Chain A
């Protein structure tokens, strides 16, 4: 049972344009969401997070939007840069779980073309 789903395995955008990565979840107990960036043969790097009490969180070029009623979140990167090319994972956790016990989506490969 895939509780966190990223339905787009890949996304390609032009440099300078907006990248929008989507994530859906099914477990209504999830109340904290994170986005990670991952290069091949490396561990994930934390990008940005959002608590369920918010619907938007912004950090520089990265903005995460949360729609609780739709159980959907998205990561916006603007403007996109070639260095943003990587696999992006969304992850979710629920209050009461041990530390940051995260459930990951399948990942979306973002390619930003110069």
Chain B
């Protein structure tokens, strides 16, 4: 399967600071990337859909000014958690697809964010 790399795998930050998480497709060009959030023992909740060269589409209830998404190239999308608070602590996962349609999404290894 294709490889999607997410960095960092874990990060601890102070309240009020911003954290950037990178998602890279290593061996294919990803037209679309998705950002998910998972709370302990819960499902993966889609936060936003990121298309290369255009603005991200956010799911209902997700603050676009708080979770900034940039998809500047076909191999890189970034999620920046701005002015982080302890309630933002979670496991963030990205996925990438080659083309639209019936294509399996390949997931990164996830980023554990802890805000103290």
Let me know if B110 and A104 touch, CB within 8 A: no
Q: Is A42 engaged at the interface, CB distance under 8 Å to the other chain?
A: yes
Q: Say yes or no: B95 contacts A100, CB within 8 Å.
A: yes
Within 8 A of A (CB), among B97-112: 97, 99-110, 112
- The tally of residues in A whose CB lies under 8 Å from a CB in B reads 24
Q: Helix, strand, loop or mixed for chain B's interface? A: strand
Report which of B51, B110, B112 forms a contact with A98, defined as CB distance below 8 A: B51
- How many chain-B residues does the 8 Å CB contact rule pick out? 36
Which residues of A lie under 8 Å from residue B42 when comparing CB positions? 106
With A41-B112, A43-B4, A44-B93 already in contact, the answer to whether A102 and B46 are too (CB < 8 A) is yes
In the complex, chain A residues whose CB is within 8 Å of the CB of B51? 98
Chain A minimum-CB-distance residue to B2: A46
Among A99, A102, A105, A106, the one with the most B-chain Cβ atoms within 10 Å of its Cβ is: A99
Task: Report the separation of the CA atoms of residues A42 and B106 in the bound assembly, to the nearest whole angstrom.
Answer: 12
- B109 shortest CB reach to chain A, Å: 5
